[in-house]
Structure 1
Amino acid sequence: MQRRTFLASIGAAAIAVGLTPTPTSAQAQGQAHARRADAYTWKNAVINGGGFVPGIIFNETERDLIYARTDIGGCYRWQQDSRTWKPLLDWVGRDRWGYSGVVSMATDPVDTHRVYAAVGTYTIDWDPNNGAVLYSDDKGETWGIAELPFKQGGNMPGRGMGERLVVNPADNAELYLGTPNGNGLWRSRDHGRTWAQVENFPNPGNFVVDPSNPLLADNQGVIWIDFDQVGGKIYVGVADPDDPLYVSDDGGSTWQAVPGAAEALGSAGGNRTIPGQSAMDDTNGYLYVVTSYDPGPYNGAPAAGNGGKILRLATRTGGWTDITPGYSPRGVIPGFGGITVDRKNPGTLMAATRNNWYPDEILYRSTDSGATWQLSWDYAEGQDRHDRFDMDNTGSPWLSWNGEDQGPQHAVKHGWMIDALAIDPHDSDRIMWGTGATIWGTEELTRWDAQGELIGQNEAGERVALPVKRFTVAVRAEGVEECAVLDLAALGGTLVSAVGDVGGFVHTELGRAEPMIDTDWSTGTSVDFAQYRRDIIVGTGNVHGNEKGHVGVSTDRGKTWKNAARVEGVPGDGHGGTVAISANGSRIFWTPGSSEVTPVYSTDLGETWIPVRGLPAGAKIRADRVESSLLYAFSGGTFYRSTDGGATFADTGATGLPTAGVDDFRAVPRHKKHLWLAGRGDEKTGVTGGMWRSKDGGTTWKRIATFETAESVGFGKAAKNAAYPAIYTSALIGGKAAIYRSTDGGSRWARLNDDDHQWAYSGSAITGDPLVYGRVYLTTNGRGIIYGDIVAS
């Protein structure tokens, strides 16, 4: 199916976009150098998860129609036959990369082919574009765009609350959207094509976490909308502890504050709280609301006391009941994230704590409308932990975080940041919940109810464990690839990655999830390998604490790793920087990130470190891929070279290179002194971007006129009868950001991806495969590791 994307402005007709415009003369010149190459197929190197899944949405009418949204990696639709998720927003390009942040989704219960996504990644100027509502009439295969006159925060605090976007089940042409920062409540009456503010909605919210911090200064605004399908009422939750809930009983014409809501919802343990989520039980006439100390997803409990409640509103009488669980193993409940009701079994509901960091999150379950609750785990005497279910992380072995159970703290957790919690409305046995790293699920949920209590009392009144036959909860994230990837190294048969939040991976099979690299990294930032001794791999990453080394070393092709010694003067809590290794593997080079410490090198695989002479702090180092004594470095427009194995560096005297906006330069395999440098430029300082190459070790450089900007450059196996490796780049040609390849040393370039495969922002690092011609690996900011292969003819 050919994708056609349409743009609908507020109150205006749709305008076609994404069609090929008539190029300007400059664009035509660029396009002449960038023709279509071989047809490509694109896949992920499998990680399964790796980022925050703040929403899981089941369609109430069609069985097995399920959507999941992520904070920076787009949204997905469940495929029941393969039990995998299909990405739906890979068509989002770099010009509107913020559309990959999905703040809310809605699936139409009347016409189940219709689905909607409220998008926009940041409400601050990091995202240059306003938000939008995307609308689809074919379950997300193709989308239209309704632009909004304000920003939305798919990756901002509060992104797990909601859902902010909903379809009116009584009139599916009508949708409501809750917005942040004083923009109030919005409504569409034409299936999401056009939007207007509900001008008579009285309260845009006022809750701000921290006005002094731009990332925390959002007015959280209008948080969620819920429908009483029996009583015909519309409820709206607002981030205002003193006025948190509104209702309309005339189809949204007028709105009133719900009596008693401020008293019921507005405080917990003396703390101001806001209504984070809701769930409706139409059979019994109950609206359930969970509150939390702040919008999340990171913060835990306040300094003292509980941080949240579960409240029940009887929609027919207006009576409020506090049904907060009376017990927590820790004594306090930090706040609540997700809540869900079982539509097949009225009176059954579940809720999750938010950021009960130690030892684990708690899932609560009630089968009597919240009168009593059972816990997913509990303590007995001696602090032994007893669980209702086993956690099976086979689908994502890295979810153990290379740890082991330590008393009540299990290596494989229920999760954290559990805002997405959903019982299948068609199957009481199926539940899924999202965490900061994955999706968990089971099809055995009702076995919980046959287990009874986890903990009882013996004759002496002591708390003791009761026998429980556990069921299994397993990974349900297959197909969801949400990692932000920072660097790649392709050895041939082995792909090494540096990955945000989860360290990094060594893939020997691209279709199989692997354990994470066993180092101290919280986020991997850079990887490299010795050209002539490819069993030696080095990497670096951010670490927490000042006692840990940033650099990791493997001498067995990534099977095992050893942490190198820490460098005096480099603090923890970040500072991963970049790493390189000489062609013969004899010397490792590390440039600490965000530090005043100059680069260092090691001659003993990281046991000791020696300061490099001649380089400023922050200079990025690369090794020549042929001559082990040759090393190169770049910083602030100056190019440096070492001829003594990296002990000392000197300015090559090169001119014409950009002074800012250079993220990548690389040495060419099998070609001594051949270098390529990619520059994205810097609009603030007027520095021009592009691509440069040198054939003399960085003394002279030639700018490749084809490129307006370039993010990265890498090399792979040469084409048949070609003398030069295939060159790959993520770059801008003729105004089009895409993935390009040259097979003739850089004279001609061909675009590899198409408009259906753009992944919002891709290619901050890129490399070809040294053994497979045409295969290219590229990083993304939220869609994991993408690789492409030429389609067999």
Structure 2
Amino acid sequence: MNKILCAISVVVLLAGCTGQVKTAVKESAEVKQKIGLPATTGVSGVNYSWKNVPVGGGGAVIGILVHPLVKDLVYMRTDVGGAYRWDEAKQEWIPLQDGIPFSEWNLYGTDSLAVDPSDASGNRLYLSTGKYCDQAWAKPNGVIMKSNDRGATWKRVLPEAGGHVSAWGEKLAVDPNNGKHLLYASKTKGLLESDDEGETWKQISSFPSQIKNADDSDGILGLLFTVFDKSSGLVTETSHTKTIYVGGAGKGVFCSEDGGASWKLLENSPKDSFRTCIGSDGVLFVSHKDGIAKFAAKDGWKDITPPSQKGSYSGISQDPANPKHIVVAFLQNKKDAPMFRSTDGGENWTQLKNEFENTVPWWNPEKQNHRLAHVFAMSFDHFHPNRIWAVDWYGVYRTDDITAETVKWTNLEKGHEEIVTLGTLEAPPESRFRLYSSVADVGGFDHESIDSFPSKATFDRGYKWQTTTGIAWSRADKDFLVRVGGLVWNKPGLGGAYTLDGGETWKLFPKDKLPYKDIARGRVVITGKGKRIIWTPQTGDPYLSDDLGNSWKKLETPIPLPGVMPGNRIFSYEQPITVDIADCNRVYIYYKKQVLRSDDAGDTWKLVCKDAPESKIIFTGGVKDDVWIAGGKGLFHSKDAGVTWGQIPATKEARLACAGKNPPGKDHSAIFLCGSIGETEGYFRSDDLGENWIRIDTLPNQRIGDDPNSLCGDWRVFGGVFVGTNGRGIFYGVPAGGK
């Protein structure tokens, strides 16, 4: 989303120490419907503007849906970043779930998309959500939402649906012969049915309640797809399409020939199906773990896998004008997945010769594996003959002529922002780059601008294939920065790297000089006037280096600090160490309700507090002896260098917090908070060290709720703040009229 949105925000006044919040204006139930939320009290006030920092894709797109009756109406869904609608005029994607707050981050996972294929207006849209299913820590447990305006507003029609992000076929389907009739193939609740456009639901008792799969982590993978055969006609009594197919994980394909009243498991059907399509002739095509199969009632199942490429297939689509014209994609995790086309229903295949036009500078197709890799889904376009859409690990592709001798694919990534940040963003006051980001899978970026795609990812600047989990910049040398990280989610990788030219190039720490084997991830700071690095890895004790990683020394602290950075995977968002903004020789470490402080850049340490409040983040506010900690019980402030602490009144939760550029005429930083003040959840800014707060997130459609994990003040622009998310990229907010 590149367009800046002007937000109406809120001024929140803390009523002494009572914990009450005085609010201005109530938010209407109509506004709450915008994001599919129950009507509750909200507030309004000061203008703020928000936008995505453009990166371009960077996350899995697992579904693509082209409306059969409305030209250029295309939707796509992602695994962790919600659903989008294509804007053909602007050639960009519009996110459809940004109004969901961070307390409901689980709903940014998409399980399935469906349109009513008989709705000529194209307005009706259904979405099944949920990153994780039936997990106490992932609430709510997925919902089905309905929109009558193409995703601009939502109504929740099936709470606790148990949706679980799915890269398999579409589980949610609207009957093509009866737009009121819907089916949802759930993960744990069996096959669900609605006869009133999704308003109410019931379980189909004649269908198996659960489909178990021993290969799935929780033992239940459930149902994989639902598809209606429009050509079979209607059951008179129910007005349901007669023939319906449902895929069951590890079991095969189930079929009903009486509109869902009874079901049978089709003999010899593929047990591990991925995607399906069915045409006007009623022939069913299924991609699966072992190839491609087709089914006709009179002939049964037939293997039609391209003979030159045996194995798993996922992406499959059928020409709406010719049911024998089929395109399929082989399933592989490296680039340039083989694709095949058939014009005789799969009897014969021709492998496509593909060519790639790249529109995202940091996507380096010749060096990287994310070019048509793991093609999850494909779709013909009903209004553009021979146009095909395809989606994979990193984005969306389109070709306008699948029949050409050389098929030219273009990635369409404007507005699609799906990178996952990992706890650290940095925006120094003076640096060669505008922003430095830590990112899962693709490493991270040194952003030349916050208005255009980065020219390179860090792996093309010398940091190779590292996932960055920590970044630090020197207060004494604007060109000296450090990154630490690892490989994928939990492997050690190559440790870390430093730059002496502001991020143009990065040089790895000598691997044979690292403190110990398998050191990885964690956080890092630069302290003092020289090149001192302090690394708090996720796998052991903190270490320091004065020579760019050529030698390391374990920190000498009054208490041992094993695992000061908790966890064993990249998805740990704690910030246990910070350098004082006002004095680069002062360093703080938070460890299990204890605060340690060094006043000499880490040479010596004092245990200054033995019973501090619970915290996940420690940071300083730009004033001597001023330090803050943030956690699940609120925001706490110390004015005596960490010795004593007091809670900021009414802060109920401090999910994230940070400091930013000083307010005009002030000698202290602005303080930003992602959390709750009283019962009001959102993003806030204080210009007076927590005495008063201004709400800065947009209501109702800009909640920045996709599991935010990084908050970074902009040290160049007062009021500017960056927010990193778990699948909706990086957002930048600034007072309206700011740059």
- Residue number among 477, 501, 515 corresponding to 2:441 in the alignment: 501
Find the aligned partners of 1:365 and 1:103 in 2 and give their Cα distance: 28
Match status 1:291 vs 2:268: no
Contact 1:287 / 1:314 at 8 angstroms: preserved in 2? yes
Other-structure match for 1:231? 232
- Residue number among 51, 54, 58 corresponding to 1:43 in the alignment: 51
Structure 1 residue 546 displacement after superposition: 7.9
Other-structure match for 2:350? 374
Contact 1:521 / 1:540 at 8 angstroms: preserved in 2? no
Match status 1:426 vs 2:380: no
Other-structure match for 2:630? 678
Task: Show CA shifts across 1:176-207 (max 9, x none).
Answer: 100113x2111111111211111222464233
Other-structure match for 2:360? 395
Find the aligned partners of 1:543 and 1:319 in 2 and give their Cα distance: 46
Match status 1:278 vs 2:276: yes
Task: Show CA shifts across 1:724-750 (max 9, x none).
Answer: 222111121112321100112221011
- Residue number among 600, 603, 606 corresponding to 2:549 in the alignment: 606
* TM-score, reference length from structure 2: 0.86
Match status 1:349 vs 2:326: yes
Is the partner of 1:96 in helix, strand or coil? Answer: helix
Q: For residues 368 and 124 of structure 1, do their structure 2 counterparts lie closer, same or farther at Cα, with a shift above 3 Å needed?
A: same
Other-structure match for 1:18? 39
Find the aligned partners of 1:634 and 1:547 in 2 and give their Cα distance: 24
Contact 1:546 / 1:571 at 8 angstroms: preserved in 2? no
Task: Show CA shifts across 1:410-429 (max 9, x none).
Answer: x3543333222112122233
Structure 1 residue 693 displacement after superposition: 1.8
Q: For residues 627 and 774 of structure 1, do their structure 2 counterparts lie closer, same or farther at Cα, with a shift above 3 Å needed?
A: closer
Q: For residues 16 and 776 of structure 1, do their structure 2 counterparts lie closer, same or farther at Cα, with a shift above 3 Å needed?
A: closer
Other-structure match for 1:299? none
- Residue number among 185, 201, 207 corresponding to 1:201 in the alignment: 207
Structure 1 residue 221 displacement after superposition: 2.0
- Residue number among 14, 22, 30 corresponding to 1:4 in the alignment: 30
Structure 1 residue 535 displacement after superposition: 1.5
Contact 1:225 / 1:234 at 8 angstroms: preserved in 2? no
Contact 1:587 / 1:601 at 8 angstroms: preserved in 2? yes
Structure 1 residue 150 displacement after superposition: 4.6
Contact 2:224 / 2:249 at 8 angstroms: preserved in 1? no
Task: Show CA shifts across 1:346-397 (max 9, x none).
Answer: 321111222x245652222212211111223xxxxxxxxxxx2222333252
Match status 1:179 vs 2:186: yes
Find the aligned partners of 1:473 and 1:3 in 2 and give their Cα distance: 44
Find the aligned partners of 1:541 and 1:577 in 2 and give their Cα distance: 7
Other-structure match for 1:543? 487
Match status 1:474 vs 2:410: yes
Other-structure match for 2:339? 363
Structure 1 residue 440 displacement after superposition: 2.0
Other-structure match for 1:188? 194
Structure 1 residue 36 displacement after superposition: 4.5
Match status 1:778 vs 2:723: yes
Q: Which has the higher contact order (CA 8 A, sep 6+)?
A: 2
Match status 1:116 vs 2:121: no
Task: Show CA shifts across 1:745-770 (max 9, x none).
Answer: 22101110123211324542212211
Other-structure match for 1:706? 650
Structure 1 residue 627 displacement after superposition: 2.4
Structure 1 residue 131 displacement after superposition: 2.1
- Residue number among 563, 578, 596 corresponding to 2:508 in the alignment: 563
Other-structure match for 1:446? 403
Q: For residues 783 and 725 of structure 1, do their structure 2 counterparts lie closer, same or farther at Cα, with a shift above 3 Å needed?
A: same
Contact 2:621 / 2:668 at 8 angstroms: preserved in 1? no
Pairing 1:678-697 to 2, within 5 Å after superposition: 678-680=630-632, 689-697=633-641
Contact 1:224 / 1:277 at 8 angstroms: preserved in 2? yes
Contact 2:335 / 2:369 at 8 angstroms: preserved in 1? no
Find the aligned partners of 1:580 and 1:175 in 2 and give their Cα distance: 54
Structure 1 residue 568 displacement after superposition: 4.6
Q: For residues 73 and 640 of structure 1, do their structure 2 counterparts lie closer, same or farther at Cα, with a shift above 3 Å needed?
A: same
Contact 1:536 / 1:585 at 8 angstroms: preserved in 2? no
Find the aligned partners of 2:49 and 2:245 in 1 and give their Cα distance: 44
Other-structure match for 1:143? 154
Instruction: Supply the AA of the counterpart residue of 2:345.
Output: S
Match status 1:414 vs 2:366: no
Structure 1 residue 136 displacement after superposition: 0.3
Q: For residues 774 and 37 of structure 1, do their structure 2 counterparts lie closer, same or farther at Cα, with a shift above 3 Å needed?
A: farther
Q: For residues 719 and 131 of structure 1, do their structure 2 counterparts lie closer, same or farther at Cα, with a shift above 3 Å needed?
A: same
Other-structure match for 2:176? 169
Contact 2:420 / 2:724 at 8 angstroms: preserved in 1? yes
Q: For residues 176 and 786 of structure 1, do their structure 2 counterparts lie closer, same or farther at Cα, with a shift above 3 Å needed?
A: same
Find the aligned partners of 1:37 and 1:535 in 2 and give their Cα distance: 39
Find the aligned partners of 1:82 and 1:313 in 2 and give their Cα distance: 41
Other-structure match for 1:684? none
Contact 1:106 / 1:116 at 8 angstroms: preserved in 2? yes
Match status 1:666 vs 2:619: yes
Structure 1 residue 521 displacement after superposition: 4.8
Find the aligned partners of 2:174 and 2:636 in 1 and give their Cα distance: 52
Contact 1:3 / 1:756 at 8 angstroms: preserved in 2? no
Contact 1:779 / 1:785 at 8 angstroms: preserved in 2? yes
Q: How many residues align?
A: 676
**Share of identical aligned residues, percent?**
29
Structure 2, unpaired ranges of 5+ = 1-6, 8-27, 234-241, 565-575
Is the partner of 1:348 in helix, strand or coil? Answer: strand
Cα RMSD for the two superposed structures: 2.5
Q: For residues 583 and 87 of structure 1, do their structure 2 counterparts lie closer, same or farther at Cα, with a shift above 3 Å needed?
A: farther
Is the partner of 2:324 in helix, strand or coil? Answer: coil
Structure 1 residue 446 displacement after superposition: 2.4
Instruction: Supply the AA of the counterpart residue of 2:169.
Output: G
Contact 2:330 / 2:338 at 8 angstroms: preserved in 1? yes
Structure 1 residue 583 displacement after superposition: 5.1
Instruction: Supply the AA of the counterpart residue of 2:258.
Output: D
Task: Show CA shifts across 1:707-727 (max 9, x none).
Answer: 111022222223333332221
Structure 1 residue 697 displacement after superposition: 2.3
Find the aligned partners of 1:474 and 1:122 in 2 and give their Cα distance: 32
Pairing 1:511-526 to 2, within 5 Å after superposition: 511-514=451-454, 515-518=456-459, 519-526=463-470
Other-structure match for 2:4? none
Instruction: Supply the AA of the counterpart residue of 1:561.
Output: W
Structure 1 residue 167 displacement after superposition: 0.9
Other-structure match for 1:578? 523
Other-structure match for 2:702? 757
